[in-house]
Amino acid sequence: MIKIKQFTIIKPDDWHVHFRNGKILKTIVKYTSNFYERAMVMPNLSSPIITIKSAKKYKKNILNALKKNSTFTPLMTCYLTIDTDPDDIEYAFYEKIFFAAKLYPKNSTSYSKFGIKKIKTITNVLERMQKIGMPLLVHGEIVDKNMDIFDREKFFIDKILIKLRKDFPELKIVLEHISTKEAVDYIQSVKKNLGATITPHHLMYNRNDMLSNGIRPHLYCLPILKSKTHQEALRKAISSGNKKFFLGTDSAPHYYYNKESHCGSAGIFNSLSSLSIYAEIFEKMHALNHFESFCSRNGALFYSLPENKNTITFIRKSWKIPDKIFVGEKIIIPFLAGKMVKWTIE
Ligand code: DOR
Ligand code: ZN
Ligand code: ZN
């Protein structure tokens, strides 16, 4: 079979990214802004983005970290707490300060201690979001010490999401970084107002890769990698061309000493290689015909945004992912550090 040597697509958007703040932000924003035209910026900083004031300041910090002629647009999200005020939400949405709001079940992931314990405590906010057409993004896991970590996503769907959709049928919801066959099936079964992002790491690896030949802390993320069956369901989902699935890297840097630790942090920093990896997986699945939609159309369609005007070109030329990224003296180990990937992006 003849292998395609290069192809061009509409410049993609990353619908789920963590930029952090301070020095990390300044170092890493370029790895997203070089390849993506827009990004949905997650609000779970150590001081989370819960106010209009903090969102404005955070956006400014992001814009200041960009190159002068960059066209990159960060879309800001609001971290929902029990104190979130529906009037603030409405004002910030209409003023285009917040594009969406993020639901973190309390203690479900990194920096989620201000998250929500009981959905009914934010009913008035969800009602308002539904009314004004503001999207709700969810970290879809229930955390309970009696529940197996590998079942957290499935339980979120069964116990929270199904009811949430019944109570707020017009609310646009994105189930972020899906990791299970149950999530794929559920998304496919729903007619409207529900989409899902899929990460490079959940497509590339399963829990055997993380645990069966030594423990790999740099593959530790939440939702945790699942079994091969689930990985294959995700691969099938993107290969089907279903428009409800779109690109979200969940790129989430942590310093290496917080990853290689007795209690390691969850999160994988993948922004610099993300597009090359997605392309590799689509090619492997013989689904490159659906690649542009996944990267550059489906998300915009879901969020009722225009498609980007710029394009990027993929060239079949391998390159080596750096072993480490320096943030001053400190080190972040990128996803697939030191490995070769097949596609170079121009
Ligand atoms: O692995 C993860 N890391 N999953 C998340 O949901 C959050 C992220 C982070 O912020 O580090
Ligand atoms: Zn998450
Ligand atoms: Zn995330």
Q: How many structural domains comprise the chain?
A: 1
Return the pLDDT at 2: 78
Return the CATH number at 88. 3.20.20.140
**pTM for this one?**
0.98
Q: Is the dihedral of CA 217, 266, 76, 276 positive or negative?
A: positive
Instruction: Give helix 52-64 / helix 22-33 axis angle, nearest 10°.
Output: 60
Return the pLDDT at 214: 97
Kindly state whether residue 123 falls inside one of the protein's structural domains. yes
Kindly state whether residue 273 falls inside one of the protein's structural domains. yes
- Is 144 known to be catalytic? no
Return the pLDDT at 191: 94
Domain limits at 60?
6-345
Kindly state whether residue 38 falls inside one of the protein's structural domains. yes
Helix (H, G, I), strand (E, B), or coil: what is residue 273? coil
Return the pLDDT at 110: 86
Give dist(CA 79, CA 88) in Å, integer: 12
Kindly state whether residue 135 falls inside one of the protein's structural domains. yes
Kindly state whether residue 1 falls inside one of the protein's structural domains. no
Q: Per-residue pLDDT for the chain (346 aa), expressed as one digit of tens each?
A: 778 999 999 999 999 999 999 999 999 999 999 999 999 999 999 999 999 999 999 999 999 999 999 999 999 999 999 999 999 999 999 999 999 999 999 998 889 999 999 999 999 999 999 999 999 999 999 999 999 999 999 999 999 999 999 999 999 999 999 999 999 999 999 999 999 999 999 999 999 999 999 999 999 999 999 999 999 999 999 999 999 999 999 999 999 999 999 999 999 999 999 999 999 999 999 999 999 999 999 999 999 999 999 999 999 999 999 999 999 999 999 999 999 999 999 9
Q: For residues 259 and 323, is the Cβ–Cβ distance under 8 A?
A: no
Tokens of 238: 């993107």
Give dist(CA 179, CA 203) in Å, integer: 9
How far are the Cα atoms of 77, 100, 195 from residue 252, in angstroms, in the given order? 16, 19, 21
- What is the CB < 6 Å shell around ligand 1? 18, 44, 109-111, 139, 221-222, 250, 252, 266-267
Distance between Cα 220 and ligand 3 center (Å): 13
Q: Where are the alpha helices (DSSP H) in the chain?
A: 22-33, 52-64, 86-94, 123-132, 152-156, 162-167, 181-189, 200-204, 207-211, 228-239, 256-259, 274-284, 291-292, 298-302
What residues have their beta carbon closer than 5 A to ion ligand 2?
109, 139
As a residue count, the chain comes to 346
Distance between Cα 7 and ligand 1 center (Å): 32
Q: Whose CA is nearest to atom 11 of ligand 1?
A: 267
Residue 201 among known ligand-binding residues: no
User: Of the candidates 75, 56, 61, 71, which has an alpha carbon nearest to the alpha carbon of residue 16?
Assistant: 75
Distance between Cα 42 and ligand 3 center (Å): 7
Residue of 18, 45, 103 best suited for mutating to test ligand 1, as the one with most atoms within 8 Å of CB: 18
DSSP secondary structure of 96-146: TS-SEEEE-BTTSSTT-TTSBS-GGGGHHHHHHHHHHT--EEE------TT
